[in-house]
């Protein structure tokens, strides 16, 4: 019981530090775990029901890497954003995220010879990078190891499993580039 109280107190102190560090960020009913690994830029809004989770241990084992969620300035997440991080999830400035989006950079180990997949160690990807000015549509999933380039758009309901180049529109499952911005014609082609 004493250990539980100590753990709860530690979480609350970390959350207080997070709120102090990110004093310009509007957090409406947001669950934070691993607050000491999370940085959020000024004038950002993280909508109701969102979760920012950094795992630094799993099944009691300390992870070898320290997870980091790094969010730039003017970030806007509508609601129910879930960012689950065991290595590094980096989001640039002026990124817009619609509702019900999941960004995750790990898998459970996939050895079937265990009672539950929970018994496997986590498998970490090399992280996720979402560059400046990206717009992520409604109900998108972004999986580990992916970079989404500057000003790209991800269509509603997409699952992003591979890199998306800058100034591209990608959609579908798995997400594929459907348009690219033509600077000479000033339109998406
Ligand atoms: C991706 C998006 C921006 C593309 O808009 P667009 O450039 O006008 O695209 P188009 O309507 O010309 O569609 C081009 C092709 O892509 C397909 N497509 C468009 N959006 C798609 C999506 N989300 N998933 C799968 N395919 C999609 C179209 O069916 C069309 O295919 P076709 O040529 O075989 O008919 C838009 O469809 C979208 O998903 N917007 C996100 C809406 C949203 O989440 N809003 C939240 C506000 S924060």
Buried b / exposed e over 114-137, threshold 16 CB at 10 Å, is: eeeeeebebebbebbbbbbbbbbb
Atom nearest to 169 CA in ligand 1:
1
Written as one string, the DSSP assignment of 36-79 is: GGEEE-TT-EE-TT-EEEE-SEETTEEPSSPPEEEE-TT-EE-S
The kind and range of the H/E element at 14 are helix 2-21
Q: Whose CA is nearest to atom 14 of ligand 1?
A: 178
Prior bond to 41 cis, omega within 30? no
Output the pTM of the full model: 0.93
Our answer on whether the CB atom of 153 is closer than 6 Å to any ligand 1 atom is: yes
Counted residue by residue, the chain has a size of 189
Measured at the CA of 135, the angle between CA 147 and CA 74, to 5 degrees, comes to 100
CA–centroid distance, 104 to ligand 1, in Å, is 23
Our answer on whether the CB atom of 155 is closer than 6 Å to any ligand 1 atom is: yes
Atom nearest to 96 CA in ligand 1:
48
Instruction: Classify residue 94 as left (phi > 0), alpha (psi -120 to 50) or beta.
Output: left
Task: Identify the burial level of 106 via C-beta atoms within 10 angstroms of its C-beta, where 0-12 means exposed, 13-18 middle and 19 or more buried.
Answer: buried
Q: What is the mean pLDDT of each run of 10 residues along the chain (189 residues)?
A: 74 75 78 91 93 92 92 96 98 98 96 94 95 98 98 98 98 98 98
CA–centroid distance, 171 to ligand 1, in Å, is 7
Beta bridge partners of 40: 71
CA–centroid distance, 38 to ligand 1, in Å, is 32
Catalytic annotation, pick one of 19, 23, 108, 162: 108
Q: Roughly how many angstroms between the first and final C-alpha of the chain, as a whole number?
A: 61
Find tokens 């999370």 and name the residue: 38
Structure tokens at 94: 């002026």
To test the pocket of ligand 1, the residue of 135, 156, 168 to mutate (highest count of ligand atoms within 8 Å of its CB) is 156
Q: Are strands 38-40 and 68-71 parallel, antiparallel or unpaired?
A: parallel
CA–centroid distance, 169 to ligand 1, in Å, is 8
Written as one string, the DSSP assignment of 114-139 is: SSSGGGSPEEE-S-EEE-TT-EE-TT
- pLDDT, position 1: 65
The answer to whether residue 23 is catalytic is no
């Amino acid at each position: 019981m004493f250990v539980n109280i100590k753990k709860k107190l530690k979480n609350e102190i970390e959350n207080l530090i997070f709120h102090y560090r990110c004093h310009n960020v509007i957090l409406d009913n947001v669950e934070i775990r691993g607050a000491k690994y999370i940085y959020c830029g000024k004038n950002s809004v993280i909508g109701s029901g969102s979760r920012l989770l950094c795992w630094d241990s799993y099944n009691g084992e300390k992870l070898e890497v320290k997870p980091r969620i790094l969010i730039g300035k003017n970030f806007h997440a509508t609601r129910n954003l879930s960012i689950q991080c065991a290595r590094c999830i980096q989001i640039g400035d002026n990124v817009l995220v619609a509702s019900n989006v999941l960004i995750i950079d790990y898998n459970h180990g996939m050895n079937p010879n265990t009672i539950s997949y929970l018994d496997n160690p986590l498998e970490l990807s090399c992280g996720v990078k979402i560059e400046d000015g990206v717009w992520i549509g409604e109900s998108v999933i972004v999986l580990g190891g992916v970079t989404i380039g500057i000003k790209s758009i991800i269509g509603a309901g997409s699952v992003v499993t591979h890199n998306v180049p800058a100034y591209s529109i990608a959609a579908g499952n798995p997400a594929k580039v459907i348009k690219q911005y033509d600077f000479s014609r000033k339109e998406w082609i």
